[in-house]
Amino acid sequence: MNNDQIWQAVLGELEIGISRANFITWFKNTFIHKIEDDKVVVSVPNDFAKRWLEQKYYKSIKASLEKITEKKITEVSYQINLQKTETKNDLIEKETKKVEKEEVKPAVGQIKNLNSSGLNPKYSFNSFIVGKANELACAACHAIMKNPGKSYNPLFVYGGVGLGKTHLLQAVGNEFIKMGKRVLYTTSEQFTNNYIDSIKSGKAKEFKNLYRNVDLLLVDDVQFMGGKDGTQEEFFHTFNELQQGDKQVILSSDRAPKAIPAIEKRLISRFESGMVADVGKPDIETKIAILEKKAKEKNYILEEDILKYISNSIQNNIRELEGALNKVIAYHEFHNIKPSIKTVKNVLNDLTNNNQIKPIIPKDIIETVCQFYNINGKDLLGAKRKKELVLPRQISMFLMREELKTSYPTIGEELGGRDHTTAIHSFNKINKEKEENEKLNQDIISIKQLLYGSF
Ligand code: ADP
Ligand code: MG
């Protein structure tokens, strides 16, 4: 195995125990820089990721590396933005792999690069298994491909995380590309960022051109437009223009239009004006079919009873199902053994034990906020009124109330014996300010990601 393969296998293992948001936050753009004897150097994109990996994931990364390389690792160090050291093998592989898998490119920056539609070719209908839980959404997509802009416009797909919404949107996008049509895939966050950037840089016209001159606009995760008034306004006009020109729009969200918080009524009515289709959790037959397909894609054969066993063990979503499969394959390939129910059970047990869900308590919030802002817990709870401490303090109180519904007197207690009126004031202040201050809002989102992903 070369370094990339080793790292992919490590990530495959780690991914299972971590929420997707965290996984992406911490492991995006990481790779093994080099392995020298028993020392591994990992490159990370920034200091924040470095600290987090060192503190939170040191043990699991080391253990995983040892398991995969089957040797003792004495040290894993993290450095920022190193180059990959390429072995001869890597170079040969690169040369021969002409048809590279393309990663999803964010629409951010696409004002400069109009060709890129933000699609990942790996998401196709071919690799999408249809079952009861997604057949309506899937049928709507097929109808759209036959009759773009006219049959269901917009199509609004909603459902929980990891149930195939992005896959479906991208699959339609890829089909449209094959038909020679112009496609743009974006997430509502990218749309927002792009919109803000375009205003700042005086490129509002380019922005409009980018989003309005397409045959198909795919907007993933529109729930994040909630509370962003400027973005909603802009999107409303973009949407109207596309719809009036019979250009197709497909949207996804983690909940139904009416359930999106802080979204304008006129947008809800637009979202509902075409077809609304939900995707649900797959039944056991669909799970088995998905596993079989994914295993085949990896050239790995698993017996029916094992597929069934894995399907029964994983309840939540398809992403977790894939994670479990990856782990099963990785484990058996590394040990060069044939999977049996017993060995698979061991691998999956390991997985569920590592992943025990602990309820979050106020102390976790304090700890996470301190880590995020790189401050000392004692200072946070203390009396100093420095600006660097006041905001994190207020955010801690806000999160305790918002996330844990802790009573105000208890929040005061947790924060080093403050008065409950301080807790009320802090909650109200942050609640209001985060609507107006995007940086603060983003900070809070990141802290929440840390909070729920840490184990
Ligand atoms: P969502 O956008 O709903 O969170 P994704 O589209 O990212 O979910 O799906 C998560 C993973 O599960 C992806 O790797 C995707 O390819 C896979 N997946 C989801 N649904 C299916 C399906 N019906 N058939 C095959 N793979 C699927
Ligand atoms: Mg998605």
| pLDDT value, residue 351 | 59
Confidence band for 358, pLDDT divided at 50, 70 and 90: low
| pLDDT value, residue 382 | 94
176-200 pLDDT tens trace: 999 999 999 999 999 999 999 999 9
| pLDDT value, residue 209 | 92
Confidence band for 350, pLDDT divided at 50, 70 and 90: low
* Ligand 1 within 6 A of CB of 287: no
318, 320, 322, 325, best to mutate for ligand 1 pocket (most atoms within 8 Å of CB) = 318
Distance 440 CA to ligand 1 centre (A): 31
Confidence band for 207, pLDDT divided at 50, 70 and 90: very high
Query: Does the pLDDT of residue 27 top 70, yes or no?
Result: yes
Confidence band for 78, pLDDT divided at 50, 70 and 90: very high
* Ligand 1 within 6 A of CB of 42: no
Using a pLDDT cut of 70, give the percent of the chain over it.
Answer: 89
Query: Does the pLDDT of residue 256 top 70, yes or no?
Result: yes
| pLDDT value, residue 438 | 85
| pLDDT value, residue 21 | 64
Using a pLDDT cut of 90, give the percent of the chain over it.
Answer: 61
pTM score over 0.75: no
| pLDDT value, residue 447 | 87
406-443 pLDDT tens trace: 999 999 999 999 999 999 999 999 999 998 998 898 88
* Ligand 1 within 6 A of CB of 129: yes
* Ligand 1 within 6 A of CB of 223: no
Pairing of strands 31-36, 39-44: antiparallel
128-140 pLDDT tens trace: 999 999 999 999 9
Looking at the CA of residue 252, tell me the nearest atom of ligand 1. Answer: 2
Query: Does the pLDDT of residue 82 top 90, yes or no?
Result: no
Distance 90 CA to ligand 1 centre (A): 30
| pLDDT value, residue 439 | 84
Query: Does the pLDDT of residue 16 top 50, yes or no?
Result: yes
Lowest mean pLDDT segment, chosen from 55-59, 63-67, 115-119: 115-119
* Ligand 1 within 6 A of CB of 321: no
Confidence band for 171, pLDDT divided at 50, 70 and 90: very high
| Full 3-state SS string of the chain | CCHHHHHHHHHHHHHHCCCHHHHHHHHCCCEEEEEECCEEEEEECCHHHHHHHHHHCHHHHHHHHHHHHCCCCCEEEEEECCCCCCCHHHHHHHHHCCCCCCCCCCCCCCCCCCCCCCCCCCCCCCCCCCCCCCHHHHHHHHHHHHCCCCCCCCEEEECCCCCCHHHHHHHHHHHHHHCCCCEEEEEHHHHHHHHHHHHHCCCHHHHHHHHHCCCEEEEECHHHHCCCHHHHHHHHHHHHHHHHCCCEEEEEECCCHHHCCCCCHHHHHHHCCCEEEECCCCCHHHHHHHHHHHHHHCCCCCCHHHHHHHHHHCCCCHHHHHHHHHHHHHHHHHCCCCCCHHHHHHHHHHHHHHCCCCCCCHHHHHHHHHHHHCCCHHHHHCCCCCHHHHHHHHHHHHHHHHHHCCCHHHHHHHCCCCCHHHHHHHHHHHHHHHHHCHHHHHHHHHHHHHHHHCC
CA distance 408 to 400: 9
213-227 pLDDT tens trace: 999 999 999 999 988
Distance 252 CA to ligand 1 centre (A): 13
Ligand nearest to the CA of 160: 1
